[in-house]
Amino acid sequence: MNLENISLVLIYGAMGVYTIGMIAFAIDLTSADRGGTRRAGNIGMTVTVLAFVLHLSGTVLRGVAASRVPWANMYEFTLTFTCVAAGAYLVLARGRDLRSLGAFVNGLVLLSLGMAVAVLYVRVQGTPPILDNYWLVIHVSTATIAMGLFAFGALLSALQLVQLRQESKALTASDGSTVVEERPSRWRALPSAAELEQGAFRITVVGFLLWTFTLIAGAIWAEHAWGRPWNWDPKETMSLVVWGFYGAYLHARSTRGWEGKRAAWLNVIGIIALFINYYVINFFADSLHSYAGV
């Protein structure tokens, strides 16, 4: 068995372990309101660490098998950005109890990896001449990290929308007074909407800075490869649109006082635009970036 096949086996193994972790976290999420030691959540966290190790190992071996960095096509890029998202979750979970988010993080990573192995997988190939440049490491690595952070931040914003709906529910008592309804038990273990919003904002700030550098590095690489820094290529244009969405989110959140539902929706729209750029443009647009492996 060669390194490419070992890498694929490790990724399948990571998917299996992520699934176990997701189930454990789901059990913890639905029973956390009962108190106790939250054994299922502890199991989920331990299992997720193991899944991340398998995931990281499979990604690294893919790069070793190709004798280059493992993000030269959509399959490898997906392996890497999901590894970043899972790693960001585990790092943040070291400082606070985020077990209640584990089922959603594992589900997001598992869905993306499933798409990678089922639709995006390609055999290890040599580096195309246009990619055989040190800017492949600089430009694409920052884009990969940014996408992983954006995905995690958007997940927090989506959960924020759920929590806002639960927290705003009210019941009218028999005397006509308004009584705020307590959050249902299945959501009680999640952080509050305000905490989720704060976490999403901080993560997205870092992702936006990296995405800004991605655009700058891409322009420098384009000047080196094609003789001009900007070609209005579909992927370039959509990348700029993505930057605009996230810039609007951060500006509205920081200076315009947009908080709560409106800010969360901007962040969710941003990740939708990013996935359109990643999937739709690569599959259906005539792009200078069609060397991405599909």
pLDDT in tens, 185-195: 556 678 888 89
Delimit the domains of the chain by residue range: 1-127, 131-294
Number of residues in the chain = 294
Distance, CA of 142 to chain centre: 14
Q: Is 203 helix (H, G, I), strand (E, B) or coil?
A: helix
Is the distance from CB of 99 to CB of 190 less than 8 angstroms?
no
The answer on pLDDT for 207 being more than 50 is: yes
Q: pLDDT tens digits for 55-81? A: 999 999 999 998 888 888 889 999 999
Is the distance from CB of 105 to CB of 93 less than 8 angstroms?
no
> 5 Cβ partners below 8 Å, 6+ apart?
none
Is the distance from CB of 50 to CB of 58 less than 8 angstroms?
no
- Give me the DSSP letters along 47-85: HHHHHHHHHHHHHHHHHHHHTS-S-SSHHHHHHHHHHHH
Structure confidence at residue 172 (pLDDT) = 46
Give the chain's end-to-end CA distance (angstroms, integer). Answer: 25
Alpha-carbon distance 249 to 267, whole Å?
6
Alpha-carbon distance 105 to 155, whole Å?
8
% helix, strand, coil for the chain, step of 5: 75, 0, 20
291 vs 282, which has greater pLDDT?
282
Q: pLDDT tens digits for 149-197? A: 999 999 999 999 988 887 776 444 445 555 555 555 556 678 888 899 9
